[in-house]
Amino acid sequence: MKIIKRNGVEEPFDVSKIAAAITKANNTVEDSYKLTEVQILRISNAVVLSCEEMHRTPTVEEVQDFVEDHIMAHGAYEVAKNYITYRYTRNLIRKSNTTDDKILSLIECNNEEAKQENSNKNPVVNSTQRDYIAGEVSRDLTSRILLSKDVVDAHNEGIIHFHDADYFAQHMHNCDLVNLEDMLQNGTVITDTLIERPHSFSTACNIATQIIAQVASNQYGGQSISLTHLAPFVQVSREKIRRSVEEEIKDLGIDIGEEKISEITEKRLREEINRGVQTIQYQVVTLLTTNGQAPFVTVFMYLGEAKNEREKEDLAIVIEEVLLQRYKGVKNEKGVWITPAFPKLIYVLEEDNIHEDSKYWYLTELAAKCTAKRMVPDYISEKKMLELKVDKNGEGHCYTCMGCRSFLTPYVDENGKPKYYGRFNQGVVTINLVDVALSSGGNREKFWQIFDERLELCHKALMQRHERLKGTLSDAAPILWQHGALARLKKGETIDKLLYGGYSTISLGYAGLYECVKYMTGKSHTDPEATPFALEIMNCMNDACRKWKAEHNIDFSLYGTPLESTTYKFAKCLQRRFGIIPGVTDKSYITNSYHVHVTEEIDAFEKLRFEAQFQHLSPGGAISYVEVPNMQHNIEAVLEVMKFIYDNIIYAELNTKSDYCQVCGYDGEIEIVEEDGKLIWRCPECGNTDQDKMNVARRTCGYIGTQFWNQGRTQEIKERVLHL
Catalytic residues: 174-175, 402, 404, 406, 425, 559, 564, 702
Angle between the N-to-C axes of helices 15-26 and 77-95, in degrees from 0 to 180, rounded to the nearest 10: 110
CA distance 668 to 378: 22
Are the C-beta atoms of residues 433 and 160 closer than 8 Å to each other? no
Residues with Cβ < 8 Å from 630, sequence gap 6 or more?
372, 656, 657
Looking at the DSSP bridge assignments, the partners of residue 661 are 694
Q: Which helix (H) or strand (E) holds 397?
A: none
Residues with Cβ < 8 Å from 418, sequence gap 6 or more?
391, 395, 397, 410, 411, 412
Which amino acid makes up residue 607?
K
Are the C-beta atoms of residues 561 and 510 closer than 8 Å to each other? yes
Largest Cα span, the chain:
113
CA distance 161 to 462: 11
Exposed, middle or buried, 597 (CB in 10 Å: 0-12/13-18/19+)? buried
Beta-carbon-side half-sphere exposure of residue 392 (alpha carbons within 13 Å): 10
For 287-302, the DSSP string reads ---TTSS---EEEEE-
- How far does CA 28 lie from the centroid of its chain? 50
* ∠ Cα 334 292 169 (to 5°): 165
Between the CA of residue 26 and those of 16, 18, 247, 532, 649, what are the distances in Å? 15, 12, 95, 54, 62
Nearest-10 Cα torsion for 283, 289, 294, 296? -110
Between the CA of residue 163 and those of 220, 426, 508, 512, 513, what are the distances in Å? 11, 11, 11, 16, 19
For 75-131, the DSSP string reads T-HHHHHHHHHHHHHHHHHHHT--HHHHHHHHHTT-BHHHHTT-TT--TTSHHHHHH
Are the C-beta atoms of residues 81 and 24 closer than 8 Å to each other? no
Strand-pair category, 378-381 with 344-349: parallel
* ∠ Cα 699 701 705 (to 5°): 45
Residue among 656, 712, 295, 699 at smallest CA distance from 511: 712
Give the Cβ contact number of residue 509 at 10 Å.
Answer: 29
Give the Cβ contact number of residue 418 at 10 Å.
Answer: 15
